[in-house]
Structure 1
Amino acid sequence: MGGFSYKDVYVEDGKRVLEVNILPEKYCNFDCIFCPIGRSENKVDTQKAFDEYESSLIELAKMIENTKAELIFINSKGEAFVNDKIGEIIDFIKGKGLHVRLLSNGYLLGRDEYIKIANKCDEVVGEIKVITEEDFRKVQRPIEGYTLEEYISNMVSFNKQYKGKFIFEITIIKGYNDDEESIQKIKNIIKEISPNKIIITRMEDERFKKKLGITDERFEEISNVLLNIS
């Protein structure tokens, strides 16, 4: 099974954005308990070949033409780096004169082969959801041997050499990173990574919102703190 899938095109900052998922099902190096896609049956951090590559590129070209997209956002079911053709897919899009934004959870941005691929992109999104080693192992359930310290370090080192726009997405989760001590830790992580843009999100999926969601007031408080770091 292969093939890409798409979301409806939308406008962001005056540009028409087309989101494309380049994985046929979920392949990820994490297995987060609150992932809206569900469990990671394929927990991997090495690349894999998928079927229907050539026909998927033809379809992508048609989607770009039909939607008049100006920015292609590779936002996949899991970790997009797992697709062994990701570099070629990015080159294909760039060859059409379009900007590319890549979403990765960010852990693999410490490996040379993935750094090279990410450097092709105009924008790279990395993310963080919990801020203790214990929660990282318990809640995000990464591949054995992963650490939160290395996770952050990989994004720090990547952004130091990256020439594009690094976007850092932080998800605020009730009971995990919404207290004052956690917010201070997140502030320190932001300073370390020094992203070009920060996005603050929270649990919006109805399956997790009641237990892990935070109030509008608290979300606004935290957002104001994290978006205004001097």
Structure 2
Amino acid sequence: MKSNFSYKDIYVEDGKKVLEMNILPEKYCNFDCVFCPIGRSKNKIDEPVSFEDYSSSISELDSIIEKTQPDLVFINSKGEALVNDKVSQIIDFIKSKGLKVRLLSNGYILSKDEYINIANKCDEVIGEIKAITEEDFKKLQRPIEGYTLENYIENMVSFNKQYNGKFIFEITIIKKYNDDEESIQKIKDVIKRINPDKIEIVRIDDERMKKTLWVDDEKFEEIKRELMNI
């Protein structure tokens, strides 16, 4: 039985069993970030794509849910999960099992009605930001032509204003790009605009990039405290 989905080992978070899954057969994304651990984006898109073997994938998911009995299913894919044209049905299937759904989206396309409607089905949505200037956004994240950092931020702002679930805002701190005081102030302003329910502060975790983009522990903890306390 062929499946386009893949899974991580189930783990416990805040006392709940989490099943983390990927719903893309390979990387499909609207960005091509230089530090992406998956590699380059051969499929750089922000429109829905149809994949084969959907029924087999759902059958496998059903079996895994029955076997692992999770409390929450975390859709964390190879790129932007929302471009799978069956993502809405996948979420509906998971919800039909009485489970909560968390969706990771980079957040850019959350301004489109079709994606807003899909994300609104989820109990939790994660949006994220890395670069904090227009120049760095284009240099580091290599978005689809025409994308701007301001639109990126505003798309998450407008989405969260109408969203009734838990919006989690993930901020990646990158050495020499957004770890200075001016950048931290800009990030604070973005946090205030988006008004998320939860903030997560992380670092680049790709081993290839740690030498140049990794923020040391002391500075990272200092930044983390500053951002978490606004």
CA contact (8 A) 1:126 1:167 kept: yes
Cα deviation, residue 2, structure 1: 5.3
Secondary structure of 1:207's counterpart equals coil
Secondary structure of 1:102's counterpart equals strand
- Residue by residue over 1:107-152, the C-alpha shift from the partner in whole angstroms, topping out at 9 and shown as x without a partner, is 0111111000000000000000010011111110000000000000
Cα deviation, residue 66, structure 1: 0.9
Secondary structure of 2:19's counterpart equals strand
Give me the whole-angstrom Cα distance separating, in 2, the residues matched to 1:66 and 1:46. 33
CA contact (8 A) 1:2 1:50 kept: no
Give me the whole-angstrom Cα distance separating, in 2, the residues matched to 1:174 and 1:103. 24
Q: Which amino acid aligns with 1:203?
A: I
Please, what is the CA RMSD of the aligned residues? 0.8
Give me the whole-angstrom Cα distance separating, in 2, the residues matched to 1:225 and 1:197. 15
Aligned residue runs from structure 1 range 15-54, under 5 A: 15-54=16-55
Unmatched 5+ stretches in structure 1: none
CA contact (8 A) 2:127 2:168 kept: yes
CA contact (8 A) 1:2 1:23 kept: no
Give me the whole-angstrom Cα distance separating, in 2, the residues matched to 1:30 and 1:37. 12
Moved over 2 A (4+): none
Partner of 1:137: 138
Cα deviation, residue 228, structure 1: 0.7
TM-score (normalizing by structure 2): 0.98
Percent identical among aligned pairs is: 72
Q: Do residues 123 (structure 1) and 115 (structure 2) align?
A: no
Partner of 1:186: 187
Secondary structure of 2:117's counterpart equals helix
Aligned residue runs from structure 1 range 57-206, under 5 A: 57-206=58-207
Unmatched 5+ stretches in structure 2: none
Q: Which amino acid aligns with 2:195?
A: S
Give me the whole-angstrom Cα distance separating, in 1, the residues matched to 2:144 and 2:207. 27
Secondary structure of 1:205's counterpart equals coil
TM-score (normalizing by structure 1): 0.98
CA contact (8 A) 1:27 1:40 kept: yes
